[in-house]
């Protein structure tokens, strides 16, 4: 008999890797899927607040205060269900050669047992998407993406002996993030203690063969456990048991998005758009404009890969045609507070991320860019942002003005350009 949830009736579907479709209650019309961890995620979500992520149900926050979850990630340890990511297995004798022609970052420098953050571009050098690629062996890779890319990737196959398979439903991914993450996981698999930043290893957790990578989206010490969908609940339970006494909490999307802004980690459809779906070039970005030039710094030396977008990126770099540069901003707190108190208001210090465009202005009042993600950072005790500025203003310490609304009028407050990540704890790479 199907289990009844607070949202309606959920029916198990055969052969779908543990995901389910939920049928709406009488008079309802919604349709969603659930992740392999949902059997534990649903009862833990005491707020009943959910959103949709790639067609899956995702918890916005488990506790009444998302800040409580955020502080667990920053000061102890939190777990996040990141299973809705699309996952592609790329394998075969030609897999490395194929990825060398698709990915902007040089996959040949990624050895078996390592992972890379990377992007892929169109032939004009605009970013299609970003993701993490895990190299399991000389000819087997797993690539994550936030959007469907199977047909796009397959259409780029030439003469390489390569197979591309969507394995999204076969795997659950549990992110374990925070300064106590290693302390919690090491008793479950001793190999975890020796994993370096962006390393990965096959281990056993709950008698289940999993892959653990030292990766995450919070900007601190973190690991992600790739677990076969049918064994996801058992792994969750083992991690939860190991986390007792260490302040382990599940955290939702709001806390995750707070952490990623502090870490300067880009979010598709907020800080950049896919070139495949953008209406015009104003909504497209190159790797250089997104601050990812470090991925291609060796193009003039020993990196001879003919990847998609290579020539356009080389031309942009040589001719200095980048239109802007992604950077961090730190708001002048004294000016911010006086701007509100002078207007008879309490200065708002809201930690909930605001993902709207805030205009930026220069010394002469000219528009010089815009912020895309804005929040009050609990760790830094400052208002911060991820922003695009004109390249000549991208140096750390440059002063700009950020436009905000006070008493229903546009006002400007000073902000300083800062290198990202804005929050960069030593334990992230230690």
Cα-based distances in Å from 321 to 37, 130, 192, 398? 46, 22, 44, 21
Find all residues with CB under 8 Å of 15, minimum gap 6, and list them.
Answer: none
pLDDT computed for residue 298 by the predictor: 84
Angle, nearest 10°, between helix axes 66-75 and 253-263?
50
pLDDT at 14 over 50: no
CB distance 250 to 58 below 8 Å:
no
Structure confidence by residue, pLDDT tens digits, 267-279? 999 999 999 999 9
Q: Taking residues 59-84, what's their average pLDDT?
A: 97
Structure confidence by residue, pLDDT tens digits, 365-422? 999 999 999 999 999 999 999 999 999 999 999 999 999 999 999 999 999 999 999 9
Cα-based distances in Å from 277 to 35, 128, 265, 283, 426? 27, 9, 21, 9, 38
Q: How many CB atoms lie within 10 A of CB 323?
A: 16
- Give the Cα separation of 80 and 235 in Å (integer): 13
pLDDT computed for residue 425 by the predictor: 95
Structure confidence by residue, pLDDT tens digits, 334-377? 999 999 999 999 999 999 999 999 999 999 999 999 999 999 99
325-422 belongs to CATH 2.40.30.10: no
Q: Taking residues 277-292, what's their average pLDDT?
A: 98
Q: Tell me the pLDDT band of 303, cut-offs 50, 70 and 90.
A: confident
- Give the Cα separation of 374 and 364 in Å (integer): 24
Q: Tell me the pLDDT band of 299, cut-offs 50, 70 and 90.
A: confident
Is cis: bond before 296, omega within 30 of 0? no
What percentage of the chain has pLDDT greater than the value 90?
Answer: 90
pLDDT computed for residue 142 by the predictor: 98
**Mean pLDDT, the chain, integer:** 92
pLDDT computed for residue 30 by the predictor: 53
Q: Identify the bridge partners of residue 184 per DSSP, sorted by sequence position.
A: none
Closest CA to 129 of 151, 106, 104: 104
- Give the Cα separation of 328 and 290 in Å (integer): 11
pLDDT at 27 over 90: no
Q: Tell me the pLDDT band of 28, cut-offs 50, 70 and 90.
A: very low
Q: Tell me the pLDDT band of 304, cut-offs 50, 70 and 90.
A: confident
pLDDT computed for residue 2 by the predictor: 37
User: Look-up: residue for tokens 């009736």?
Assistant: 9
What percentage of the chain has pLDDT greater than the value 70?
Answer: 93
Q: Which of 29-38, 203-212, 241-250, 306-315 has the lowest mean pLDDT?
A: 29-38
Determine which helix (DSSP H) or strand (DSSP E) holds 240, and give its type and residue range: helix 232-242
pLDDT at 3 over 70: no
Q: In the Cβ-directed half-sphere of 129, how many Cα atoms lie within 13 Å?
A: 18
């Amino acid at each position: 008999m199907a289990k009844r949830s607070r949202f309606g009736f959920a029916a198990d579907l055969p052969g779908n890797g543990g995901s389910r479709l939920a049928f709406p209650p009488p008079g309802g019309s919604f349709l969603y899927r659930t992740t392999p961890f949902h059997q534990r995620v649903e009862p833990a979500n005491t707020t009943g607040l959910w959103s949709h992520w790639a067609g899956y149900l995702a918890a916005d926050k488990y506790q009444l205060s998302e800040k409580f979850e955020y502080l667990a990630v920053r000061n102890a340890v939190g777990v996040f269900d990141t299973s809705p990511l699309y996952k592609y297995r790329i394998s075969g004798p030609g897999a490395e050669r194929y990825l060398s022609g698709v990915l902007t970052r040089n996959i040949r420098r990624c050895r078996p047992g390592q992972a890379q953050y990377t992007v892929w571009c169109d032939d004009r050098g605009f970013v299609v998407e970003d993701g993490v690629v895990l190299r399991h062996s000389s000819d087997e890779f797993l690539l994550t993406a936030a959007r469907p890319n199977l047909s796009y990737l397959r259409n780029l196959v030439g003469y390489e002996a390569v197979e591309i398979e969507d394995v999204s439903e076969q795997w659950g991914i549990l992110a374990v993030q925070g300064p106590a993450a290693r302390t919690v996981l090491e008793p479950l698999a001793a190999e975890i203690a020796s994993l370096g930043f962006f390393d990965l290893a096959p281990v056993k957790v709950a008698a289940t063969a999993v892959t653990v990578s030292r990766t995450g989206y919070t900007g601190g010490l973190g690991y992600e456990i790739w677990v076969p969908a049918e064994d996801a609940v058992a792994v969750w339970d083992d991690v939860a048991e190991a986390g007792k006494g260490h302040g382990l909490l599940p955290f939702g999307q709001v806390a995750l998005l707070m952490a990623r802004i502090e870490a300067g980690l880009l979010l598709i459809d907020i800080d950049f758009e896919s070139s495949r779906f953008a209406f015009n070039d104003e909504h497209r970005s190159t790797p250089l404009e997104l601050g990812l030039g470090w991925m291609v710094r060796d193009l003039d030396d020993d990196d001879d890969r003919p990847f998609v977008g290579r020539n356009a990126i080389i031309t942009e770099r040589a001719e200095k045609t980048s239109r802007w540069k992604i950077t961090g901003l730190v708001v002048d707190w004294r000016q911010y507070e006086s701007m509100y108190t002078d207007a008879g208001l309490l200065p708002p210090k809201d930690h909930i991320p605001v993902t709207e465009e805030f205009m930026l202005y220069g010394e002469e009042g000219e528009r010089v860019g815009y912020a895309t993600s804005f929040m009050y950072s609990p760790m830094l005790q400052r208002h911060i942002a991820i922003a695009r500025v004109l390249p000549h203003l991208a140096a750390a310490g440059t002063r700009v003005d950020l436009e905000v609304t006070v008493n229903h009028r546009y006002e400007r407050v000073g902000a300083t350009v800062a290198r990202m990540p804005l929050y960069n704890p030593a334990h992230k790479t230690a």
